[in-house]
């Protein structure tokens, strides 16, 4: 299923920048960045839980915001993009 992860990390607070980098790094391990603070992750239920736990271990819940949206398996017609940085298709092999 496709999971959308969106976050706001309080970068003006102490250690915020560090948390922001760590959040992005974990998200990169599970999916692709489609905007600065938005990742699309193709995961199964176990990976989804792991991703949630890994991010909860990083963020400071009194300062940061973290949201997950389940887009399910039939998501291709549910996403519309305009402008720069179109998402890569996470289901197709990436040819470098």
Which residues define the annotated binding site for Mg(2+)?
8
Whether 81 contacts 87, CB under 8 Å: yes
Q: Identify the CA nearest to 81 among candidates 9, 32, 27, 43.
A: 32
Sign of the CA dihedral 29, 2, 62, 36?
A: positive
Minimum Å gap between C-beta 12 and a copy of itself is 12
Quick one: which segment of 24-32, 70-78, 88-96 binds a copy of itself (CB under 8 A)?
70-78
61 near a copy of itself, judged by CB under 8 A: yes
List of residues contacting a copy of itself (CB under 8 A) = 4, 6-8, 34-38, 52, 55-56, 59-72, 77-85, 87
């Amino acid at each position: 299923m496709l999971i959308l992860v969106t976050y706001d990390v309080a970068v003006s607070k102490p250690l915020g920048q560090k948390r922001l980098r760590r959040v992005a790094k974990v998200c990169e391990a599970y999916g692709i960045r489609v905007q600065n603070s938005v990742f699309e992750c193709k995961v199964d239920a176990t990976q989804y839980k792991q991703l949630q736990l890994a991010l909860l271990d990083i963020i400071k819940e009194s300062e940061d915001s973290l949201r997950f949206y389940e887009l399910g398996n039939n998501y291709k017609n549910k996403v519309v993009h305009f402008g720069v940085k179109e998402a890569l298709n996470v289901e197709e092999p990436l040819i470098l």
